Amino acid sequence: MESQPESPPALPQDTPREPILTLPGALTAYVLLLAVIHLRVLLPPELENWTIDVFGFIPKRYDSTLLAIPFPGGAGAKVWTFVTYSLLHANLSHIGFNVLWLLPFGSALARRFGAVRFFTFMAVTAAAGALAHLVTHEHAVAPMIGASASVSGTMAAAIRFAFVQGSFLSFSRGDADAAARVPALSLMHALRNPRVLGFLAVWFGVNIIFGVGSIAIGADGASVAWQAHIGGFLAGLMLFSLFDPVPRLTADVADAS
């Protein structure tokens, strides 16, 4: 009696693996925009300096006294520079430092908000940083540039949901899209969360150290505009709910998380 040949065991199908680092389209577009704008460093020095004067944030531009100095850009620059300064960077290390922090926090926020909300949020936090810089440097002539205020805003907004179970800084998380869309903590519950408070303590401590110590990072020796960082951070923390499309956690669930 002939025996039937055994059929070969079925090979396990390859399951698609998520790349180690995937960027949402909105963040990719933002980073590419920063990179393209940074090509201005290839311009002749006179023209490059003109772009800084027209699009950088200069507190002295808003001086209404008789000692006011006319700057390129006229009245329009008093409006657009609240945002455009954040798209300019001094050098590659300056832009690289900001992009490095954007990768985890900006990625989660862009996935959660979508493109329109994300770009609007970046503009609003940039404006908040510029306002904080204006209040603390009323007569400064040196232009402020860099996306640090907006980056700080993304960090502040992200911690409203980053430590919730299943999110990207929790001990157990899902895939990138699921981690970015967990319900967020209310501002009150976030400020009672030990991990959020620890993050806030470290973040404010580092910025105060850089500010008081006048330590520069990647900006050709220029001092860090730490007040702008704090302005963007506070705006991101407090205005997050206005942009968030995901329903918030109930009080009981928030306490459990």
* Residue 37 belongs to some domain of the structure: yes
* Residue 11 belongs to some domain of the structure: no
* Residue 61 belongs to some domain of the structure: yes
Distance of CA 166 to the CA centre of its chain: 22
* Residue 16 belongs to some domain of the structure: no
Is the pLDDT at 191 greater than 90? The verdict is yes
* Residue 6 belongs to some domain of the structure: no
- 53-83 pLDDT, tens digit per residue, is 999 999 999 887 756 678 889 889 999 999 9
Burial of 168 (0-12, 13-18, 19+ CB in 10 A): buried
* Residue 32 belongs to some domain of the structure: yes
What per-residue confidence (pLDDT) applies to 19? Answer: 45
Q: Give the model's confidence band at 42: pLDDT under 50 very low, under 70 low, under 90 confident, else very high.
A: very high
Which residue has 């798209």 as its token pair?
87
**Amino acid identity of 80?**
W
Mean pLDDT of the chain: 84
DSSP assignments along 148-176, one per residue: HHHHHHHHHHHTTTTTSTBSTTSSSB--H
Q: Which residue range forms the structural domain that includes residue 101?
A: 25-243
Is the pLDDT at 128 greater than 50? The verdict is yes
Coil vs helix vs strand at 139: coil
* Residue 159 belongs to some domain of the structure: yes
* Residue 79 belongs to some domain of the structure: yes
- Looking at the structure of the chain, the number of domains it has is 1
What per-residue confidence (pLDDT) applies to 171? Answer: 63
How many percent of the chain have pLDDT more than 70? 80
CATH number at residue 67: 1.20.1540.10
Is the pLDDT at 206 greater than 90? The verdict is no
Q: Which residues contact 211 (CB under 8 A, 6 or more apart)?
A: 224, 226, 227
Per-residue pLDDT averaged across 91-101, rounded?
A: 92
